[in-house]
Every structure is written in structure tokens, then in C-alpha cells.
Structure 1
Amino acid sequence: MNQKKYKDMDESLLKAVNIPIELYESTLGQYFIGYAYNLVFGEGTSAWARLYNPIKSGVILHVNVWTVTDVSDSAFRAQFWFNATPPESNVNYAPVTPTNLVIKPQPRAKVRLEYASNVDGNPTGGIKAFVRRAQPETTLVDTENGKIIIGEGGNFLVFLSNPETPELLSSGRVAFGWWEEKIKNNCKCND
């Protein structure tokens, strides 16, 4: 094949590259990370951290990864809830950051990372989706690949407790990675 025919064929080929969805969302400035640290509980109390997608945020939350770290000397339980109401408490807000640090000005997350320590009671409503047991000085990690999808007004809550050793004081950390998909207005209204 001569060089001209090869060049014409090369220019007509469509180039395709497969990249992980997390990288794609990060290049768009839509991927964020954050963590709640020093979650203290025990002696009859619990703690929680959640990704909360506010009403009228204009985005759909896709949970990509979560981690739960047990930084205490005793095991504890981590319950994972969809759209539950946490026990009444003083809510704190953890800082979050976009993962694409090249974009200026930096994108701001619409989803909030909220947390509370030393709370009484259990989550209500919603769905308890799964439960994990954290061992001392270990980190649980799971990659959800965006398959946990939360709409406006919903949340993904991690609830920490130590029911087997309630007299002990425990502490942990919860971290999340997620992306935010803008809600498209598909209204075909007549103007």
C-alpha cells in the first residue's frame, strides 16, 4: 500500500479510547472526594456520615467509592442506608474537593458530606442496604462504580455503632468518592 492511500485510510479511521468513568467525570470537573474524620461513638452512642444531595441541587449523585476506617481498639458495625433520616444531632459539614485541580475556577460540589458523632438513636425511614463489620486498625473499601444513584433530596448514609461492646469508646473515619451528573431539562414545552 502506498503512503498516500495509507494516510487517507488513517485519517478516515475513528479513534476510540476506553477510560474509566471516574477519569472521564474528573476531566469534566464533576468528580469529588471528601472524608469525615474523628467520628466518635460508643458508651451507648453512634456516629454517622452521609452524602446528601439537596433538594433542587440540579444534579444526580453517583456514589463511586466508600471507605470506613476503624481507628479504635475494638471492632464496630457499619450500616449502609439509602435515603434514611439520621438520628437528630448537631450536623457537621466536611470539606470536599474536586479531583481535577486544573480547572479554574475550581468546580464546587452540589452534594454535601455531612456527619455527626455521639448521637442517640438509629436511622429511620429509607432502606438499610447492607452491613459490614470493621476490625481494629483496618479500612473497609468498596468501589460501586457509580451504580448507587441518588436523586435530589436523597442520601447515602454510613451509620457506625459498636453494639457488641457498647461500653467502649470507638472512633472511625468515612470517606467517599462520587460524581455529579447535571439533570437535563427534557421539557418539550411550547414557548
Structure 2
Amino acid sequence: MFQKNDHCIVNRKNIKPQKVVSIPVSLFRSMQGKYFVGQTETLWVGNGSNAWAGLVNPCNSDVNLYVNVFTISNFSDDYLTAEIWLNTNLPEKGCISNNVFPTNTALKPLPKNKVDIRFIESTNKVPEKGVNVYQRIVPPNTTLVSEEDGKFIESPGGNYVIVIKSSSSKLDKVIVAFGWWEKSRC
């Protein structure tokens, strides 16, 4: 008969404890070279404009995207609203961030991400498709951190997008960062 005891499983028959180790899935994916982090350039919201930032899984990626964490750094004195959208229509003029890197830099060669961080510095466009799953308030001069733990999974062609809005008449400075892992669909 087996019995759980703190961090060991004890087999009462043989009385030999076995150590059980539990590691977070993000660490496990990082050890495999499948965890990535990155951020946008500076985004500007207010005076009637929004900013968009998101993880975009290209149609030909052959991986599922698992959203682990996002942060929104608000460098202004104004409250901002962040809308989280799934599978929305990104405007054509979005940029791809060059500020993306694998978290396991011990691997050689370094793993290459298939999912992109895309962003739009400032636009008056709003999402026309997709689902706004929730909203967050971002207080002035703070960084909002939201851990999703991989529960949002986007297949090739899908995306996880944050639309940031401000009711201020002046432009507010924002930077968005993401952490995610990628897993082959096969």
C-alpha cells in the first residue's frame, strides 16, 4: 500500500521512500526550450486613440500557443483600461516585436519562437471580430501582472490580444510584455 507523506510517497511494503519533485509547467517548458518572453515597443493611448498588443500564432506555425503571463506597464498619471480579446482581427499595419527571446539561454543553438508579439503603437480602430473575454484596470504609474498559467490555448491562426484604452486627452505611455510556451500539435 502506498501512502503520501509530505513530499515523499512511501511504499509500506518495502519502506523505501521515493522523492517526488513538482516543477511549474513554465519551468518545464523553459528547460525544453519552448518558453519565450518579450515586449512591445512604447505604445501610446489617449486623445481618442488605443494601442494593441498581442500574441499571434501564424497559420503555418504547427504549434499551439499557451499564454502564461502578461504585464502592462503604465508610465502615466492616468487610469487605463485593458481589454483582453481572443481571435480578433488585428489591423494590417501592426509591427512584429524584435524584443523576443527564449528563457533558456543555456541551449545551443538558441530555440526560435514561432509565435509573434504584434503591436500597434496607436490607432483609433477597435476590434470588429473575436471575443472580449475580460477587462482590467491599470492604475497610474504601475505594472499590472496577470498570470494565466497556460489556460488560454490558441491554435495556428489564433491570437490573444490586449487593447489598451485611456479616457485622457493627453497621450499616455505604455509597454506590454508576454510570457508563453509553444507546443507542437503533433
Check whether the contact 2:30–2:103 (CA below 8 A) recurs between aligned residues.
yes
Q: Which residue of 1 aligns with 2:119?
A: 115
Check whether the contact 1:89–1:119 (CA below 8 A) recurs between aligned residues.
no
Q: Which residue of 2 aligns with 1:91?
A: 94
Give the match's secondary structure for 1:37.
Answer: coil
Q: CA RMSD in A?
A: 1.6
Structure 1: which 4+ aligned runs deviate by more than 3 Å?
A: 12-16
**Given the alignment, which residue of 135, 139, 145 partners 1:135?**
139
How far residue 44 of structure 1 moved from its aligned partner, in angstroms, is 1.2
How many Å separate the matches in 2 of 1:93 and 1:130?
Answer: 24
How far residue 41 of structure 1 moved from its aligned partner, in angstroms, is 2.1
Q: Kindly provide the CA deviation profile for residues 81-119 of structure 1, in whole angstroms up to 9, marking residues without a partner as x.
A: 000113x35211112100000100000000000101121
How many Å separate the matches in 2 of 1:120 and 1:21?
Answer: 38
How far residue 14 of structure 1 moved from its aligned partner, in angstroms, is 5.8
Check whether the contact 1:32–1:98 (CA below 8 A) recurs between aligned residues.
yes
Q: TM-score, normalised by structure 2?
A: 0.87
Give the match's secondary structure for 2:41.
Answer: strand
How far residue 172 of structure 1 moved from its aligned partner, in angstroms, is 0.5
How far residue 168 of structure 1 moved from its aligned partner, in angstroms, is 1.7
How many Å separate the matches in 2 of 1:59 and 1:107?
Answer: 14
Check whether the contact 2:52–2:122 (CA below 8 A) recurs between aligned residues.
no
Q: TM-score, normalised by structure 1?
A: 0.85
Q: Which residue of 2 aligns with 1:174?
A: 176
Q: Which residue of 2 aligns with 1:25?
A: 29
How far residue 122 of structure 1 moved from its aligned partner, in angstroms, is 0.3
How many Å separate the matches in 2 of 1:66 and 1:118?
Answer: 19
Residue identity opposite 1:136 in structure 2: P
- 1 or 2, which has the higher strand percentage? 2
- 1 or 2, which has the higher helix percentage? 1
How many Å separate the matches in 2 of 1:173 and 1:104?
Answer: 30
Check whether the contact 2:80–2:164 (CA below 8 A) recurs between aligned residues.
yes
How many Å separate the matches in 1 of 2:86 and 2:23?
Answer: 29
Residue identity opposite 1:41 in structure 2: V
How many residues of Structure 1 are paired with residues of Structure 2 in the alignment? 172
How far residue 145 of structure 1 moved from its aligned partner, in angstroms, is 0.8
How far residue 15 of structure 1 moved from its aligned partner, in angstroms, is 5.0
In structure 2, list runs of 5 or more residues that go unmatched.
Answer: 1-13
Percent pairwise identity: 37
Q: Kindly provide the CA deviation profile for residues 46-70 of structure 1, in whole angstroms up to 9, marking residues without a partner as x.
A: 1110000000201000000111111
In structure 1, list runs of 5 or more residues that go unmatched.
Answer: 1-8, 185-191
How many Å separate the matches in 1 of 2:140 and 2:72?
Answer: 11
- Indicate yes or no: 2:6 matched with 1:35: no
